[in-house]
């Protein structure tokens, strides 16, 4: 069976469930390729008439928000021993250096680290649990979580979906040239937010300054 014909037999509900589940688990603190799954599914939706990009984006957003909220609750209850346990289970992602980098971002940026963390792989995994460990006020976390989750999940779905639609139309006229240009348009759009998000990841507090409690960080 042709690959395209096979893809058209995949039930849309299974795609929605897979995206929501993987992104939810990643947001909870389990290192999974959430962004790859989301991008792949959005591209599939652009070629598969049975997959609604709006529902796909909604499922991705719900997974991101719910997963982060569960991660926050677990981090608040587990505290720093939880980070030590995660470091033993996932040393590549929860190493002391990575935890220190994420913690500095939270101390300096507060709730904005949760918001922009959606666009940075490291902070996307850390955001929920670390916000709980550092006892960020839940109302601040929730606001950043909801808006960040919707912007990241919905925005990524929309950009990649339309890139796929444009690429398909251009491929019929300009072959691979159209595909390259379409991909460049999508990447340019996403890099604007990613560049800002990177500043959160690499931000360093002033040398010798006392750590600022997350609850008192300026929004």
What is the full DSSP assignment across 59-127?
Answer: HHHHHHHHHHHHHHHHHHHHHHHHHHHHHHH-TTTS-HHHHHHHHHHHHHHTHHHHHHHTTSHHHHHHH
Look at residue 23 in the predicted model and tell me its pLDDT.
Answer: 93
pLDDT of residue 198: 61
The two three-digit tokens of residue 112, written as one number? 């904005």
pLDDT tens over the chain, length 219 residues: 444 555 567 788 988 999 999 999 988 878 788 888 888 888 888 877 788 999 999 999 999 999 999 989 888 887 777 767 766 666 666 667 767 777 777 777 778 888 887 887 777 777 888 888 888 888 989 999 999 999 999 999 998 888 877 766 555 554 455 445 555 655 665 665 566 556 655 554 444 444 444 544 444
In this prediction, residue 190 carries a pLDDT of 61
The reported pLDDT for the residue numbered 76 is: 85
Packed helices 121-133 and 53-89: angle between N→C axes, nearest 10 degrees? 70
- Whether the CA torsion 30, 44, 61, 147 is positive or negative: it is positive
In the block, residue with structure tokens 């460049």? 184
Q: How far apart are CA 144 and CA 81, in angstroms?
A: 25
Per the CB < 8 A criterion, the answer to whether 65 and 42 are in contact is: no
What confidence score (pLDDT) does residue 192 get? 58
Q: Please give the Cα distance from 197 to 199 (Å, whole number).
A: 5
Give the per-residue pLDDT at 53: 92
pLDDT confidence of residue 19: 92
What's residue 103's pLDDT?
74
pLDDT the model gives residue 209 = 45
pLDDT at residue 168, as a whole number: 60
**Which pLDDT score, from 0 to 100, does residue 90 have?**
67
Structure tokens at 56: 């796909």
Helix axes 96-109, 121-133, angle to 10 degrees: 70
């Amino acid at each position: 069976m042709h690959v395209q014909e096979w893809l058209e037999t995949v039930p849309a509900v299974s795609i929605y469930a897979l995206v929501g589940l993987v992104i939810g688990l990643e947001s909870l603190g389990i290192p999974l390729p959430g962004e790859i799954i989301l991008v792949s599914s959005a591209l599939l939706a652009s070629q598969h008439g049975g997959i609604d990009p709006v529902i796909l984006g909604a499922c991705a957003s719900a997974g991101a928000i719910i997963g982060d909220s569960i991660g926050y609750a677990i981090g608040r209850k587990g505290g720093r021993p939880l980070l030590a346990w995660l470091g033993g289970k996932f040393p590549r992602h929860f190493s002391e250096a990575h935890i220190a980098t994420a913690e500095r971002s939270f101390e300096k940026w507060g709730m904005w680290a949760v918001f922009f963390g959606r666009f940075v792989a490291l902070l996307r995994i850390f955001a929920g649990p670390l916000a709980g460990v550092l006892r960020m006020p839940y109302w601040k976390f929730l606001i950043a979580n909801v808006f960040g989750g919707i912007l990241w999940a919905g925005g990524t779905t929309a950009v990649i979906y339309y890139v796929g639609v444009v690429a398909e139309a251009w491929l019929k006229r300009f072959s691979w040239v159209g595909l390259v240009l379409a991909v460049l348009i999508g990447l340019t759009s996403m890099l604007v937010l990613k560049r800002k998000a990177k500043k959160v990841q690499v931000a360093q507090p002033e040398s010798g300054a006392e750590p600022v409690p997350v609850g008192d960080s300026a929004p």
